Amino acid sequence: MTTTVIKGGTIVTADLTYKADVRIEGGVIVEIGPDLSGDTVLDATGCYVMPGGIDPHVHLEMPFMGTYSADDFESGTRAGLAGGTTMVVDFCLPGPDQSLLEALQMWDNKSGRATADYSFHMAITGWNERIFDEMKTVVQDKGINTFKHFMAYKGALMVNDDEMFASFQRCAELGALPLVHAENGDVVASMTAKLLAEGNNGPEAHAYSRPPEVEGEATNRAIMLADMAGVPLYVVHTSCEQAHEAIRRARQKGMRVYGEPLIQHLTLDESEYSNPDWDHAARRVMSPPFRNKQHQDSLWAGLQSGSLSVVATDHCAFTTEQKRFGLDSFAKIPNGTGGLEDRMPMLWTYGVATGRLTMNEFVAVTSTNIAKILNVYPKKGAVLVGADADLVVWDPKRTKTISAKTQQSSIDYNVFEGKEVTGLPRYTLTRGHVAIEEGTIKTREGHGKFVRREPFTAVNKALSTWKDLVAPRKVERSGIPATGV
Protein backbone atom coordinates (compact mmCIF):
# COMPACT_ATOMS: atom_id res chain seq x y z
CA MET A 1 0.00 0.00 0.00
CA THR A 2 1.39 3.43 -0.86
CA THR A 3 2.00 5.79 2.01
CA THR A 4 1.81 9.56 2.20
CA VAL A 5 3.75 11.54 4.76
CA ILE A 6 3.03 15.10 5.82
CA LYS A 7 6.45 16.33 6.84
CA GLY A 8 7.92 19.21 8.80
CA GLY A 9 4.67 20.77 10.06
CA THR A 10 3.26 21.65 13.46
CA ILE A 11 0.20 19.63 14.46
CA VAL A 12 -2.57 21.75 15.93
CA THR A 13 -5.52 19.97 17.55
CA ALA A 14 -8.27 21.21 19.83
CA ASP A 15 -5.96 20.76 22.82
CA LEU A 16 -2.34 20.35 21.66
CA THR A 17 0.27 22.09 19.49
CA TYR A 18 3.44 20.09 18.70
CA LYS A 19 5.87 19.32 15.90
CA ALA A 20 5.48 15.90 14.26
CA ASP A 21 5.06 14.19 10.91
CA VAL A 22 1.92 12.27 9.96
CA ARG A 23 1.93 9.01 7.97
CA ILE A 24 -1.19 7.98 6.06
CA GLU A 25 -2.09 4.58 4.61
CA GLY A 26 -5.40 3.45 3.14
CA GLY A 27 -7.04 6.78 3.91
CA VAL A 28 -6.34 6.71 7.65
CA ILE A 29 -3.61 8.06 9.91
CA VAL A 30 -1.27 5.19 10.81
CA GLU A 31 1.61 6.96 12.57
CA ILE A 32 2.42 10.31 14.15
CA GLY A 33 6.01 11.08 15.12
CA PRO A 34 9.38 12.52 14.14
CA ASP A 35 11.27 11.77 10.89
CA LEU A 36 8.67 9.60 9.14
CA SER A 37 9.11 8.56 5.50
CA GLY A 38 6.71 7.46 2.78
CA ASP A 39 6.16 7.16 -0.98
CA THR A 40 4.67 10.64 -1.31
CA VAL A 41 5.94 13.47 0.85
CA LEU A 42 3.91 16.64 1.39
CA ASP A 43 6.03 19.51 2.65
CA ALA A 44 4.37 21.18 5.63
CA THR A 45 7.28 23.43 6.59
CA GLY A 46 5.91 26.63 8.13
CA CYS A 47 2.38 25.16 8.22
CA TYR A 48 -0.09 23.85 10.78
CA VAL A 49 -1.47 20.34 10.31
CA MET A 50 -5.06 20.36 11.57
CA PRO A 51 -8.16 18.16 11.39
CA GLY A 52 -10.08 19.09 8.25
CA GLY A 53 -13.03 21.38 8.90
CA ILE A 54 -16.53 19.97 9.37
CA ASP A 55 -19.41 22.18 8.30
CA PRO A 56 -22.41 20.91 10.28
CA HIS A 57 -24.97 22.98 8.38
CA VAL A 58 -25.24 23.13 4.58
CA HIS A 59 -28.07 22.96 2.03
CA LEU A 60 -26.89 21.52 -1.28
CA GLU A 61 -29.35 21.26 -4.19
CA MET A 62 -32.17 21.89 -1.74
CA PRO A 63 -35.73 22.43 -2.98
CA PHE A 64 -36.69 25.71 -1.29
CA MET A 65 -38.93 28.72 -1.94
CA GLY A 66 -39.87 27.59 -5.43
CA THR A 67 -36.36 26.77 -6.61
CA TYR A 68 -33.25 24.71 -5.75
CA SER A 69 -30.13 25.99 -4.00
CA ALA A 70 -27.49 26.34 -6.70
CA ASP A 71 -24.55 24.37 -5.33
CA ASP A 72 -24.93 20.61 -5.55
CA PHE A 73 -22.94 17.94 -3.69
CA GLU A 74 -20.13 18.18 -6.24
CA SER A 75 -19.59 21.96 -6.31
CA GLY A 76 -20.47 22.35 -2.63
CA THR A 77 -17.97 19.79 -1.35
CA ARG A 78 -15.36 21.08 -3.83
CA ALA A 79 -15.83 24.58 -2.40
CA GLY A 80 -15.47 23.12 1.08
CA LEU A 81 -12.22 21.32 0.25
CA ALA A 82 -10.77 24.46 -1.36
CA GLY A 83 -11.22 26.20 1.99
CA GLY A 84 -10.06 23.30 4.20
CA THR A 85 -13.46 21.73 4.99
CA THR A 86 -13.44 17.94 4.54
CA MET A 87 -16.93 16.99 5.71
CA VAL A 88 -20.37 18.57 5.43
CA VAL A 89 -23.70 17.73 7.03
CA ASP A 90 -26.71 18.44 4.79
CA PHE A 91 -30.42 18.51 5.69
CA CYS A 92 -32.77 15.88 4.26
CA LEU A 93 -36.13 17.66 3.85
CA PRO A 94 -39.16 15.43 3.25
CA GLY A 95 -41.74 17.09 1.01
CA PRO A 96 -45.38 17.41 2.06
CA ASP A 97 -46.72 13.87 2.62
CA GLN A 98 -43.39 12.33 1.67
CA SER A 99 -42.05 9.71 4.05
CA LEU A 100 -38.71 10.23 5.77
CA LEU A 101 -37.29 7.17 4.04
CA GLU A 102 -38.44 8.25 0.58
CA ALA A 103 -36.80 11.62 1.11
CA LEU A 104 -33.63 9.95 2.30
CA GLN A 105 -33.52 7.92 -0.90
CA MET A 106 -33.60 11.18 -2.88
CA TRP A 107 -30.78 12.64 -0.80
CA ASP A 108 -28.74 9.45 -1.26
CA ASN A 109 -29.10 9.81 -5.02
CA LYS A 110 -28.06 13.48 -5.03
CA SER A 111 -25.05 12.98 -2.82
CA GLY A 112 -23.35 10.39 -5.06
CA ARG A 113 -21.23 13.11 -6.68
CA ALA A 114 -19.76 14.44 -3.44
CA THR A 115 -16.00 14.98 -3.48
CA ALA A 116 -15.71 14.86 0.33
CA ASP A 117 -17.46 12.91 3.08
CA TYR A 118 -20.91 13.94 4.23
CA SER A 119 -23.74 13.07 6.54
CA PHE A 120 -27.38 14.11 6.87
CA HIS A 121 -29.68 15.62 9.46
CA MET A 122 -33.32 14.55 8.99
CA ALA A 123 -35.97 17.29 9.07
CA ILE A 124 -39.27 16.73 10.91
CA THR A 125 -41.79 18.91 9.09
CA GLY A 126 -45.02 17.43 10.43
CA TRP A 127 -46.17 14.78 12.89
CA ASN A 128 -47.98 11.46 12.56
CA GLU A 129 -47.56 7.80 13.48
CA ARG A 130 -45.56 7.01 10.35
CA ILE A 131 -43.00 9.68 11.23
CA PHE A 132 -42.85 8.36 14.80
CA ASP A 133 -42.09 4.86 13.46
CA GLU A 134 -39.70 5.96 10.74
CA MET A 135 -37.56 7.96 13.16
CA LYS A 136 -36.43 4.68 14.69
CA THR A 137 -35.37 3.30 11.30
CA VAL A 138 -33.60 6.56 10.48
CA VAL A 139 -31.56 6.35 13.68
CA GLN A 140 -30.94 2.62 13.94
CA ASP A 141 -30.66 1.51 10.29
CA LYS A 142 -29.72 4.67 8.43
CA GLY A 143 -27.12 6.06 10.84
CA ILE A 144 -28.67 9.51 11.31
CA ASN A 145 -28.86 10.72 14.91
CA THR A 146 -30.05 14.32 14.47
CA PHE A 147 -33.52 15.69 13.65
CA LYS A 148 -34.10 19.29 12.52
CA HIS A 149 -37.20 21.32 13.45
CA PHE A 150 -38.12 24.58 11.74
CA MET A 151 -39.94 26.94 14.10
CA ALA A 152 -40.30 29.36 11.14
CA TYR A 153 -41.41 29.13 7.47
CA LYS A 154 -45.09 29.00 8.39
CA GLY A 155 -47.19 27.05 5.92
CA ALA A 156 -44.12 25.26 4.55
CA LEU A 157 -41.54 23.67 6.83
CA MET A 158 -42.70 24.97 10.22
CA VAL A 159 -43.76 22.63 13.03
CA ASN A 160 -45.99 23.69 15.90
CA ASP A 161 -45.10 23.24 19.55
CA ASP A 162 -47.17 20.05 19.97
CA GLU A 163 -45.42 18.45 17.00
CA MET A 164 -42.02 19.63 18.15
CA PHE A 165 -42.56 18.42 21.70
CA ALA A 166 -43.68 15.00 20.45
CA SER A 167 -40.62 14.75 18.24
CA PHE A 168 -38.28 15.88 21.05
CA GLN A 169 -39.65 13.10 23.28
CA ARG A 170 -39.13 10.60 20.48
CA CYS A 171 -35.53 11.85 20.09
CA ALA A 172 -34.99 11.28 23.81
CA GLU A 173 -36.18 7.66 23.48
CA LEU A 174 -33.97 7.00 20.47
CA GLY A 175 -30.77 8.69 21.69
CA ALA A 176 -31.06 11.33 18.97
CA LEU A 177 -30.30 15.05 19.14
CA PRO A 178 -32.95 17.56 18.06
CA LEU A 179 -31.90 20.68 16.15
CA VAL A 180 -33.98 23.84 15.89
CA HIS A 181 -34.18 26.73 13.48
CA ALA A 182 -35.34 29.09 16.22
CA GLU A 183 -37.48 31.97 14.96
CA ASN A 184 -41.12 32.54 15.93
CA GLY A 185 -42.75 31.76 12.57
CA ASP A 186 -46.16 33.16 13.51
CA VAL A 187 -44.67 36.52 14.44
CA VAL A 188 -42.48 36.57 11.31
CA ALA A 189 -45.58 35.90 9.16
CA SER A 190 -47.52 38.65 10.88
CA MET A 191 -44.71 41.21 10.62
CA THR A 192 -44.09 40.28 6.96
CA ALA A 193 -47.76 40.87 6.10
CA LYS A 194 -47.73 44.24 7.88
CA LEU A 195 -44.52 45.42 6.18
CA LEU A 196 -45.81 44.42 2.74
CA ALA A 197 -49.20 46.09 3.38
CA GLU A 198 -47.32 49.30 4.18
CA GLY A 199 -45.43 49.07 0.89
CA ASN A 200 -42.18 48.05 2.56
CA ASN A 201 -41.24 45.37 0.02
CA GLY A 202 -37.47 45.81 -0.46
CA PRO A 203 -34.79 43.40 0.81
CA GLU A 204 -34.07 45.61 3.85
CA ALA A 205 -37.58 44.79 5.12
CA HIS A 206 -36.59 41.12 5.31
CA ALA A 207 -34.43 42.04 8.33
CA TYR A 208 -37.22 44.15 9.89
CA SER A 209 -39.57 41.15 9.64
CA ARG A 210 -37.39 38.94 11.86
CA PRO A 211 -35.74 41.00 14.62
CA PRO A 212 -33.58 39.44 17.36
CA GLU A 213 -36.57 39.15 19.72
CA VAL A 214 -38.22 36.68 17.35
CA GLU A 215 -35.14 34.49 17.59
CA GLY A 216 -34.73 34.97 21.34
CA GLU A 217 -38.33 33.94 22.04
CA ALA A 218 -38.08 30.78 19.93
CA THR A 219 -34.72 29.80 21.39
CA ASN A 220 -36.08 30.11 24.94
CA ARG A 221 -39.17 28.11 23.99
CA ALA A 222 -37.19 25.32 22.32
CA ILE A 223 -34.88 25.08 25.33
CA MET A 224 -37.82 24.73 27.72
CA LEU A 225 -39.46 22.08 25.55
CA ALA A 226 -36.18 20.18 25.24
CA ASP A 227 -35.80 20.26 28.99
CA MET A 228 -39.34 18.98 29.47
CA ALA A 229 -38.57 16.15 27.03
CA GLY A 230 -35.26 15.43 28.77
CA VAL A 231 -33.21 15.74 25.60
CA PRO A 232 -30.15 17.83 24.64
CA LEU A 233 -30.67 20.59 22.05
CA TYR A 234 -28.66 22.07 19.19
CA VAL A 235 -29.67 25.59 18.09
CA VAL A 236 -28.62 26.25 14.50
CA HIS A 237 -27.50 29.68 13.25
CA THR A 238 -27.49 31.49 16.60
CA SER A 239 -27.23 35.09 15.43
CA CYS A 240 -28.08 37.38 18.34
CA GLU A 241 -27.53 38.12 22.02
CA GLN A 242 -31.13 37.17 22.97
CA ALA A 243 -30.66 33.62 21.66
CA HIS A 244 -27.12 33.38 22.99
CA GLU A 245 -28.32 34.52 26.41
CA ALA A 246 -30.93 31.75 26.52
CA ILE A 247 -28.27 29.19 25.59
CA ARG A 248 -25.84 30.51 28.22
CA ARG A 249 -28.51 30.31 30.90
CA ALA A 250 -29.49 26.76 29.96
CA ARG A 251 -25.87 25.60 29.99
CA GLN A 252 -25.27 27.24 33.32
CA LYS A 253 -28.21 25.28 34.73
CA GLY A 254 -26.65 22.06 33.48
CA MET A 255 -28.38 21.40 30.16
CA ARG A 256 -26.54 20.18 27.08
CA VAL A 257 -27.53 23.00 24.74
CA TYR A 258 -25.26 23.83 21.82
CA GLY A 259 -25.21 27.12 19.89
CA GLU A 260 -23.95 27.42 16.31
CA PRO A 261 -23.04 30.90 15.06
CA LEU A 262 -22.39 31.28 11.32
CA ILE A 263 -19.30 32.89 9.84
CA GLN A 264 -21.60 35.36 8.06
CA HIS A 265 -23.14 36.61 11.33
CA LEU A 266 -19.70 36.89 12.91
CA THR A 267 -18.21 39.04 10.14
CA LEU A 268 -21.00 40.83 8.21
CA ASP A 269 -23.58 43.19 9.69
CA GLU A 270 -27.02 44.63 8.99
CA SER A 271 -25.65 47.68 7.16
CA GLU A 272 -25.40 45.39 4.10
CA TYR A 273 -29.19 45.66 3.75
CA SER A 274 -29.17 49.45 3.41
CA ASN A 275 -27.01 49.25 0.30
CA PRO A 276 -28.98 51.07 -2.44
CA ASP A 277 -28.15 48.31 -4.93
CA TRP A 278 -31.14 45.89 -4.79
CA ASP A 279 -29.01 42.93 -5.87
CA HIS A 280 -26.40 43.63 -3.19
CA ALA A 281 -28.99 43.59 -0.41
CA ALA A 282 -31.01 40.67 -1.81
CA ARG A 283 -27.93 38.49 -2.17
CA ARG A 284 -27.51 38.81 1.60
CA VAL A 285 -31.10 37.89 2.47
CA MET A 286 -30.93 34.90 4.75
CA SER A 287 -32.69 33.80 7.93
CA PRO A 288 -31.83 34.88 10.51
CA PRO A 289 -30.66 38.12 8.89
CA PHE A 290 -27.37 39.88 9.59
CA ARG A 291 -27.38 41.78 12.92
CA ASN A 292 -25.58 44.81 14.37
CA LYS A 293 -22.12 44.99 15.98
CA GLN A 294 -23.40 44.34 19.53
CA HIS A 295 -24.77 40.99 18.44
CA GLN A 296 -21.53 40.19 16.64
CA ASP A 297 -19.54 40.94 19.80
CA SER A 298 -21.85 38.63 21.75
CA LEU A 299 -21.20 35.78 19.30
CA TRP A 300 -17.41 36.23 19.43
CA ALA A 301 -17.57 36.30 23.23
CA GLY A 302 -19.59 33.07 23.17
CA LEU A 303 -16.92 31.33 21.09
CA GLN A 304 -14.21 32.55 23.48
CA SER A 305 -16.00 31.48 26.64
CA GLY A 306 -17.37 28.25 25.23
CA SER A 307 -21.05 29.16 25.60
CA LEU A 308 -21.29 28.83 21.79
CA SER A 309 -19.82 25.61 20.49
CA VAL A 310 -19.27 25.57 16.73
CA VAL A 311 -19.05 27.77 13.61
CA ALA A 312 -21.04 26.79 10.49
CA THR A 313 -22.16 28.41 7.22
CA ASP A 314 -25.77 27.37 6.50
CA HIS A 315 -24.39 27.36 2.94
CA CYS A 316 -27.51 27.78 0.81
CA ALA A 317 -26.40 29.59 -2.32
CA PHE A 318 -28.75 31.19 -4.85
CA THR A 319 -27.76 33.02 -8.04
CA THR A 320 -28.66 36.67 -8.60
CA GLU A 321 -31.26 35.50 -11.09
CA GLN A 322 -32.88 33.34 -8.39
CA LYS A 323 -32.75 36.19 -5.87
CA ARG A 324 -34.68 38.32 -8.38
CA PHE A 325 -37.76 36.10 -7.91
CA GLY A 326 -38.39 38.58 -5.09
CA LEU A 327 -38.10 41.84 -7.02
CA ASP A 328 -41.65 42.82 -6.05
CA SER A 329 -41.61 41.34 -2.52
CA PHE A 330 -38.79 40.50 -0.12
CA ALA A 331 -40.87 37.53 1.04
CA LYS A 332 -40.18 35.82 -2.30
CA ILE A 333 -36.38 36.26 -2.25
CA PRO A 334 -34.91 32.78 -1.74
CA ASN A 335 -33.30 32.87 1.72
CA GLY A 336 -29.66 31.90 1.88
CA THR A 337 -26.02 32.80 1.35
CA GLY A 338 -22.86 30.88 0.49
CA GLY A 339 -19.79 30.48 2.68
CA LEU A 340 -18.47 26.91 2.48
CA GLU A 341 -15.17 27.90 0.88
CA ASP A 342 -14.67 30.95 3.08
CA ARG A 343 -15.58 29.76 6.61
CA MET A 344 -12.11 28.62 7.66
CA PRO A 345 -10.04 31.45 6.07
CA MET A 346 -12.51 34.09 7.32
CA LEU A 347 -12.55 32.67 10.87
CA TRP A 348 -8.76 32.44 10.88
CA THR A 349 -8.39 36.02 9.62
CA TYR A 350 -11.04 37.61 11.86
CA GLY A 351 -10.62 35.23 14.80
CA VAL A 352 -7.09 33.83 15.14
CA ALA A 353 -5.12 36.62 13.44
CA THR A 354 -6.90 39.25 15.57
CA GLY A 355 -6.21 37.36 18.80
CA ARG A 356 -9.88 36.61 19.53
CA LEU A 357 -9.39 32.85 19.26
CA THR A 358 -6.39 30.61 19.83
CA MET A 359 -5.42 28.16 17.10
CA ASN A 360 -6.66 25.34 19.31
CA GLU A 361 -10.03 27.06 19.77
CA PHE A 362 -10.16 27.49 15.99
CA VAL A 363 -9.79 23.72 15.55
CA ALA A 364 -12.37 23.08 18.24
CA VAL A 365 -15.09 25.25 16.74
CA THR A 366 -14.48 24.36 13.08
CA SER A 367 -14.01 20.63 13.57
CA THR A 368 -13.49 18.79 16.86
CA ASN A 369 -16.47 20.12 18.83
CA ILE A 370 -18.69 19.41 15.83
CA ALA A 371 -17.40 15.83 15.53
CA LYS A 372 -18.07 15.28 19.23
CA ILE A 373 -21.54 16.86 19.26
CA LEU A 374 -22.61 14.92 16.14
CA ASN A 375 -20.98 11.70 17.40
CA VAL A 376 -18.34 11.05 14.73
CA TYR A 377 -15.30 11.70 16.91
CA PRO A 378 -12.50 10.52 16.61
CA LYS A 379 -13.12 9.10 13.11
CA LYS A 380 -13.48 12.78 12.14
CA GLY A 381 -12.22 15.91 13.87
CA ALA A 382 -9.00 14.37 15.20
CA VAL A 383 -5.32 13.99 14.35
CA LEU A 384 -4.91 10.57 15.95
CA VAL A 385 -3.74 7.15 14.80
CA GLY A 386 -6.80 5.37 13.39
CA ALA A 387 -8.66 8.56 12.49
CA ASP A 388 -9.63 9.26 8.87
CA ALA A 389 -6.91 11.26 7.11
CA ASP A 390 -9.20 14.26 6.63
CA LEU A 391 -6.54 16.87 7.16
CA VAL A 392 -5.65 20.40 6.22
CA VAL A 393 -2.08 21.62 5.93
CA TRP A 394 -2.74 25.23 6.80
CA ASP A 395 -0.40 27.94 5.59
CA PRO A 396 -0.82 30.94 7.93
CA LYS A 397 1.03 33.19 5.47
CA ARG A 398 -0.90 32.36 2.32
CA THR A 399 -3.22 35.22 1.34
CA LYS A 400 -5.94 35.95 -1.18
CA THR A 401 -8.72 38.41 -1.88
CA ILE A 402 -12.07 36.64 -1.86
CA SER A 403 -13.78 36.97 -5.22
CA ALA A 404 -16.62 35.30 -7.08
CA LYS A 405 -14.31 35.16 -10.10
CA THR A 406 -12.05 32.58 -8.46
CA GLN A 407 -14.45 30.73 -6.15
CA GLN A 408 -15.59 27.12 -6.50
CA SER A 409 -19.26 27.78 -5.70
CA SER A 410 -21.38 27.95 -8.83
CA ILE A 411 -23.09 31.27 -8.03
CA ASP A 412 -22.16 34.61 -9.61
CA TYR A 413 -21.23 36.62 -6.47
CA ASN A 414 -19.75 36.18 -3.02
CA VAL A 415 -21.02 37.91 0.13
CA PHE A 416 -17.38 38.24 1.29
CA GLU A 417 -16.27 39.79 -2.04
CA GLY A 418 -13.11 41.89 -1.63
CA LYS A 419 -12.20 40.62 1.86
CA GLU A 420 -8.47 39.93 2.22
CA VAL A 421 -7.84 36.66 4.03
CA THR A 422 -4.55 35.40 5.46
CA GLY A 423 -4.43 31.70 6.28
CA LEU A 424 -5.37 29.16 3.58
CA PRO A 425 -4.83 25.48 2.86
CA ARG A 426 -1.54 24.47 1.27
CA TYR A 427 -3.02 20.97 1.02
CA THR A 428 -6.43 19.57 1.86
CA LEU A 429 -6.69 15.78 2.18
CA THR A 430 -9.92 13.83 2.13
CA ARG A 431 -9.30 10.31 3.51
CA GLY A 432 -5.71 10.58 2.30
CA HIS A 433 -6.51 11.87 -1.18
CA VAL A 434 -4.82 15.23 -1.84
CA ALA A 435 -7.78 17.21 -3.16
CA ILE A 436 -6.24 20.69 -2.94
CA GLU A 437 -2.58 21.36 -3.64
CA GLU A 438 -1.28 24.95 -3.51
CA GLY A 439 -4.58 26.30 -4.78
CA THR A 440 -4.89 23.66 -7.53
CA ILE A 441 -8.11 21.64 -7.46
CA LYS A 442 -7.59 17.88 -7.62
CA THR A 443 -10.95 16.77 -6.25
CA ARG A 444 -12.51 13.50 -7.38
CA GLU A 445 -16.20 13.40 -8.09
CA GLY A 446 -17.80 10.56 -6.12
CA HIS A 447 -14.90 10.18 -3.70
CA GLY A 448 -17.09 11.38 -0.80
CA LYS A 449 -18.80 8.74 1.33
CA PHE A 450 -21.77 8.87 3.68
CA VAL A 451 -20.67 8.89 7.32
CA ARG A 452 -22.93 7.00 9.73
CA ARG A 453 -23.56 8.63 13.07
CA GLU A 454 -24.69 6.31 15.87
CA PRO A 455 -27.18 7.21 18.65
CA PHE A 456 -25.95 9.00 21.75
CA THR A 457 -25.57 7.37 25.12
CA ALA A 458 -25.79 10.67 27.03
CA VAL A 459 -29.21 12.16 27.61
CA ASN A 460 -30.21 15.24 29.54
CA LYS A 461 -31.83 14.59 32.86
CA ALA A 462 -34.79 16.95 32.76
CA LEU A 463 -34.39 19.86 35.12
CA SER A 464 -38.06 20.69 34.88
CA THR A 465 -40.29 18.89 37.33
CA TRP A 466 -43.47 18.35 35.34
CA LYS A 467 -43.00 14.59 35.03
CA ASP A 468 -42.68 14.21 38.83
CA LEU A 469 -45.69 16.42 39.40
CA VAL A 470 -48.18 14.83 37.02
CA ALA A 471 -48.32 11.26 38.35
CA PRO A 472 -48.33 11.74 42.13
CA ARG A 473 -50.96 14.43 41.87
CA LYS A 474 -53.71 12.05 40.83
CA VAL A 475 -56.05 11.99 43.83
CA GLU A 476 -58.66 9.24 44.34
CA ARG A 477 -62.02 10.71 45.34
CA SER A 478 -65.00 8.79 46.67
CA GLY A 479 -67.75 11.00 45.42
CA ILE A 480 -68.68 14.23 43.76
CA PRO A 481 -68.03 17.02 46.23
CA ALA A 482 -70.98 18.93 47.53
CA THR A 483 -71.40 22.28 45.90
CA GLY A 484 -72.54 25.42 47.65
CA VAL A 485 -72.97 25.79 51.36
Residue closer to ligand DUC by CB (options 215, 314) is 314
From residue 384, how far is each of 50, 379, 381, 430, 444 by CA, in Å?
11, 9, 9, 15, 25
DSSP H or E run through 28: strand 28-33
**Residue 447 binding: pick among Zn ion, ligand DUC, none (C-beta 5-8 Å cut-off by kind):** Zn ion
Site for Zn ion in 442-481 (CB under 5 A): 447
The interface region with Zn ion, picked from 5-13, 69-77, 201-209, 306-314 by CB under 5 A, is: 306-314
Q: How far is the CB of 286 from ligand DUC (least distance, A)?
A: 3
DSSP H or E run through 361: helix 359-363
**Site track 331-370 with ligand DUC (rule: CB under 6 A), x = hit:** ----xx----------------------------------
Residue with the CB atom nearest Zn ion in the bound state: 181
Q: How far is the CB of 354 from Zn ion (least distance, A)?
A: 27
The CA angle 40-42-47, to the nearest 5 degrees, is: 165
**Residue 336 binding: pick among ligand DUC, Zn ion, none (C-beta 5-8 Å cut-off by kind):** ligand DUC
- Single-letter amino acid, residue 335: N
Residue closer to ligand DUC by CB (options 316, 344) is 316
**Residue 286 binding: pick among Zn ion, ligand DUC, none (C-beta 5-8 Å cut-off by kind):** ligand DUC
Binder to Zn ion among 7, 181, 210, 453 (CB under 5 A)? 181
Q: Could you say whether residue 149 binds Zn ion (CB under 5 A)?
A: no
Beta-ladder partners of 49: 11, 393
**Site track 309-338 with Zn ion (rule: CB under 5 A), x = hit:** -----x------------------------
Residue closer to ligand DUC by CB (options 80, 336) is 336
Site for ligand DUC in 148-187 (CB under 6 A): 181
The rounded Cα 448 to chain-centroid distance in angstroms is 18
Residue closer to ligand DUC by CB (options 52, 334) is 334
- E strand segments, 61-156: 63-64, 67-68, 85-92, 117-123, 146-150
Region of residue 209 (left: phi > 0; alpha: psi -120 to 50; beta: else): alpha
User: How many of the other CB atoms lie within 10 Å of CB of 301?
Assistant: 15
**Site track 297-316 with ligand DUC (rule: CB under 6 A), x = hit:** -----------------x-x
- Single-letter amino acid, residue 45: T
Q: How far is the CB of 152 from Zn ion (least distance, A)?
A: 7
- Count of H-run helices and E-run strands, the chain: 16, 20
DSSP-derived pairing of the beta strands 117-123 and 146-150: parallel
3-state secondary structure of 234: strand
Beta sheet of 233-235, edge-to-edge order: 53-58, 85-92, 117-123, 146-150, 177-181, 233-235, 257-259
How far is the C-alpha of 367 from the C-alpha of 39, rounded, in Å?
A: 28
**Site track 274-293 with ligand DUC (rule: CB under 6 A), x = hit:** ------------xx------
Residue closer to ligand DUC by CB (options 38, 334) is 334
Would you tell me which residues interact with ligand DUC (CB under 6 A)?
Answer: 59, 181, 286-287, 314, 316, 335-336
Would you tell me which residues interact with Zn ion (CB under 5 A)?
Answer: 181, 314, 447
